[in-house]
Structure 1
Amino acid sequence: MLAITETWAKSAEDGDDLLKRACPPGYLFVHSARCTGRGGGVAIVNRDTFRSFDSEAVKAAGDCTSFELTGMMLCVNSVSIDLLVIYRPPLNCIN
Structure 2
Amino acid sequence: MTFARALVFGQTGGIVLALGALAFQPPAHGRMMLIPMTAHAAATLVPRATGNGAALIARGPAGSLIVSGDRNRLQAANILILAAPPAGCAA
Name which structure has the greater RCO, CA cutoff 8 Å, separation 6+. 2
TM-score of the aligned structures, taking structure 2 as reference length: 0.29
Rg (Cα) greater in structure = 2
Structure that is richer in helix per residue = 2
Structure that is richer in strand per residue = 1
TM-score of the aligned structures, taking structure 1 as reference length: 0.28
